[in-house]
Amino acid sequence: MKKLLLTGASGFVGKTIQRLASQPEYRDIFALTAPSARMELRDPASLTASIVETAPDWVIHLAAQSFVPRAFANPRETFDINFGGTLNLLEALKTAGFSGKVLYVGSGDQYGKVAAADLPIAETLALKPRNPYAVSKAAAEMLCYQWSQTEGMDIVAARPFNHIGAGQSENFALSGFARQIIEIRQGRREPVIYVGDLDVTRDFTDVEDVARAYLLLLERGERGEAYNVCSGREAHLGQLLEEMLALAGVKAEIVKDPARFRVAEQKRVAGDNRKLAAHTGWRQRRSMEQSLTSILDDWERQLNRASESRI
């Protein structure tokens, strides 16, 4: 059994991997290990101490500043965390004598603006990141590749596209829609939903399927290789909002909010997951309807708990 250390364990994907750890499918494959003190990517000493204490066989590097508007507002912070933090982690692993396997989690955003003729996006497409977050993730992935070649470290890279599911921040589109929909259904707000650009497509994968892909990449991914983690399908954001409204039984006016439009928006996105499937055997298990339902149900629970706490 492998001891698995997560950076960013308290985040969206980290919590999902923690849930998977208790499932029978994974009990004989890995066990989570965590340091007694919080790891800080910008503190090399704390990273080294954490690795020495936990002595992991596997590491999944999830921790990052991943909100694109924040990256534009403060690119230096984003680089310090995403690139500098990755370098700190690699150096800490080397200092601690780590001899296991690392999964670096990058982003499908690293590809930048992609022409329709290049869809679905394969790993062979050149990286042309167009925002500070994506630049920082691409640079850190290149750093990991270099270490896999010159430092003798077994490192695999994942390039996840949009992932969704219960527990995601409302800063992300579908979770933000879900919160507004449930607030309308509960009578907390007028039947109006504020949105950015809905006339876009994205490649969405349920967070549980993403987490399973990461674990398979640790088992079977090839050193120095990068893998798209995606559904391989385009989903229209406006249609998904309509589907969420139907699932919740809510009717609402949809209003475009200029503040929600992002810089350098890509109109269409679809990834190619054939390399991931061929190398690991990964297959998507969760349907879009299951994902959307889980997001709505999660916001129902969250808002109910918030009401109960105020009573």
pLDDT tens figures, 273-309: 999 999 999 999 999 999 999 999 999 999 998 776 6
- Per-residue pLDDT at 311 exceeds 90: no
How far is Cα 171 from Cα 153, in angstroms, rounded to an integer?
35
pLDDT, tens digit, for every residue of 129-143?
Answer: 999 999 999 999 999
How far is Cα 96 from Cα 138, in angstroms, rounded to an integer?
26
In a domain, 214, yes or no: yes
**Cβ(103)–Cβ(214) under 8 Å?**
yes
Mean predicted confidence (pLDDT) in 40-52: 96
Number of domain units in the chain = 1
In a domain, 281, yes or no: yes
In a domain, 294, yes or no: no
In a domain, 180, yes or no: no
- Considering only CA atoms, which of 207, 159, 218 is closest in space to residue 3? 218
Q: Kindly give the pairing relationship between strand 201-202 and strand 235-236.
A: antiparallel
- Considering only CA atoms, which of 253, 233, 229, 230 is closest in space to residue 241? 253
- Per-residue pLDDT at 23 exceeds 90: yes
Mean predicted confidence (pLDDT) in 40-50: 96
In a domain, 115, yes or no: yes
pLDDT the model gives residue 171:
86
pLDDT, tens digit, for every residue of 119-176?
Answer: 999 999 999 999 999 999 999 999 999 999 999 999 999 999 999 999 999 988 999 9
In a domain, 185, yes or no: no
In a domain, 60, yes or no: yes
Phi-psi region at 197: left, alpha or beta (left = phi > 0; alpha = psi -120 to 50):
beta
pLDDT the model gives residue 260:
78
Helix axes 207-220, 12-21, angle to 10 degrees: 70
In a domain, 255, yes or no: no
**Cβ(123)–Cβ(158) under 8 Å?**
no
pLDDT, tens digit, for every residue of 59-112?
Answer: 999 999 998 889 999 999 999 999 999 999 999 999 999 999 999 999 999 999
- Per-residue pLDDT at 37 exceeds 80: yes
pLDDT the model gives residue 56:
98
pLDDT, tens digit, for every residue of 179-232?
Answer: 999 999 999 999 999 999 999 999 999 999 999 999 999 999 999 999 999 999
How far is Cα 193 from Cα 189, in angstroms, rounded to an integer?
10
Which residue range forms the structural domain that includes residue 220?
A: 2-168+203-234+268-286
**What 3-state class would DSSP assign to 235?**
strand
CATH number of 120's domain: 3.40.50.720
pLDDT the model gives residue 218:
98
**Cβ(177)–Cβ(238) under 8 Å?**
no
Please tell me the chain's helix, strand, coil percentages from 3-state DSSP, rounded to the nearest 5: 45, 15, 40
pLDDT confidence tier of residue 257, bands split at 50, 70 and 90: confident
pTM equals 0.95
